[in-house]
Amino acid sequence: MVEKNYLLLTPGPLTTSEEVKQAMDFDYCTWDDDYKKITQSFRHSLLEVAQVNDEEYTAVPIQGSGTYGVESVISSTISDDDTLLIAMNGAYGKRIGEMADIYGINHVDLVVDERQPITLEEVTRCLDANPGVTHFAMIHCETTTGILNPIEDIIPYVSGRGITTIVDAMSSFGGIPIDVKANKIDYLISSSNKCIQGVPGFSFVIARKEVLENTKGMARTLSLDLYGQYIEMERNNGKWRFTSPTHVVHAFYEALKELKEEGGVEARHQRYTNNQKHLAKGMEELGFKVLIDEKFQSPIITSFIYPTDDFDFHAFYQQLKSDGFVIYPGKISQVPTFRIGNIGEVYDEDITKLLLAIKEITG
Ligand SMILES: *Cc1c(COP(=O)(O)O)cnc(C)c1O
């Protein structure tokens, strides 16, 4: 079946370049030296994207989607004696809470309105009230709404209190500059199919070695054992413990090369920011209101409020799809919204075309 090609305006999987797709046109041997070299090379490149060196930090890939990487950190680096504080202002924060429940990990939830960012004041108050907290987790870009949480205000402070810090930067890493060391992040999680612009198939964790190396034996599952995967890769020059997504890895290697060619994270951040601003301004001119205050809006994905009570999202979606654009439904309960992402192989002229198509539908 050949379907009509469309531009994915979703937060990942997203539209990838032709070269990234072509990179998958080869059947790699999973334990061959050439393949292991690719793994070692992209692990090193990820540390460059994170602005850290390989003496203090390591990058460890985990098979599966982004959630598997988050679950690997939550399930294999926190012991039964620890307590995790989770700051939640969207579905991805809540998901970490679900994981903690399943593994029986003690957790305190800081629940904030989904339309507001997490603040240092709230986190401080929560830590003061819960002196037993040993680990802290928060989301950088909450893809639920597109809000950007201020990790640079919060994480260094939390770390300064001797707490291990975990940041889900799934939808921002590679698209927004993040200095992992300066921000005192112990574990940062992202995946192959978001701002690095690869295809889905694995996630990865940028971990501070000193912290990770103290988690031996803490895993509650075999396959999501982050320390286990790390040690195997270190001992065996980049060998994954179990079958790895070989095609995805090669596409990712190509995608990282393209990130460099584009001018690195700064240049990509600029492109995404321009895309987002163009989109938000154009949509507002067409009568759509943005959900999140501009001060907290990420350059990744934007939530728009339904323009009328009887707005038919399904019909709108179908029409846009036949015009060559795929968008996203909303994900919050308070207000009916839909979302449009602007990451991936998406440029200013694509936003112009999208706005014209929307004008045609709603005009
Ligand atoms: C995409 C995403 C995830 C992971 O979702 P998967 O469907 O497992 O890839 C986790 N957190 C955030 C903030 C995300 O945007």
Across the chain, how many H-helices and E-strands are there?
12, 15
Tell me what the pLDDT averaged over the chain comes to: 96
Would you say the CB of residue 66 lies under 6 angstroms from ligand 1? yes
Is residue 1 scored above 60 in pLDDT?
no
Query: What are the boundaries of each domain within the chain?
Result: 7-12+265-362, 19-260
Candidates 88, 89, 171, 187: which one to mutate for ligand 1, based on the most atoms within 8 Å of Cβ? 171
- pLDDT, tens digit, 9 for 90 and up, residues 296-336: 999 999 999 999 999 999 999 999 999 999 999 998 878 99
Side-by-side strand order, sheet with 289-290: 289-290, 301-305, 337-341, 328-329
Residue 31's pLDDT is what? Answer: 84
Strand-pair category, 57-63 with 141-142: unpaired
Query: Does 220 appear as a known binding residue?
Result: no
Candidates 10, 65, 343: which one to mutate for ligand 1, based on the most atoms within 8 Å of Cβ? 65
Task: Provide the CATH number for the domain formed by 19-260 in this structure.
Answer: 3.40.640.10
CATH 3.90.1150.10 given to domain 7-12+265-362: yes
Q: Do the Cβ atoms of 122 and 110 come closer than 8 Å?
A: yes
Residue 231's pLDDT is what? Answer: 98
What does pTM read for this prediction? 0.97
Is residue 271 scored above 60 in pLDDT?
yes
- Is there a common fold for 7-12+265-362 and 19-260? no
Would you say the CB of residue 254 lies under 6 angstroms from ligand 1? no
Residue 332's pLDDT is what? Answer: 84
- pLDDT, tens digit, 9 for 90 and up, residues 45-98: 999 999 999 999 999 999 999 999 999 999 999 999 999 999 999 999 999 999
Candidates 142, 191, 248: which one to mutate for ligand 1, based on the most atoms within 8 Å of Cβ? 191
Q: Do the Cβ atoms of 66 and 190 come closer than 8 Å?
A: yes
Rounded mean pLDDT, 10-22: 94
pLDDT confidence bin for 363, thresholds 50/70/90: confident
Atom of ligand 1 nearest to the CA of 67: 8
pLDDT confidence bin for 4, thresholds 50/70/90: low
Residue with CA closest to ligand 1 atom 12: 170
Is residue 220 scored above 70 in pLDDT?
yes
Atom of ligand 1 nearest to the CA of 140: 13
pLDDT confidence bin for 285, thresholds 50/70/90: very high
Cα distance between residue 335 and residue 144, in whole Å = 13
Is residue 2 scored above 70 in pLDDT?
no
Q: Tokens representing 307? A: 């323009």
Residue 3's pLDDT is what? Answer: 62
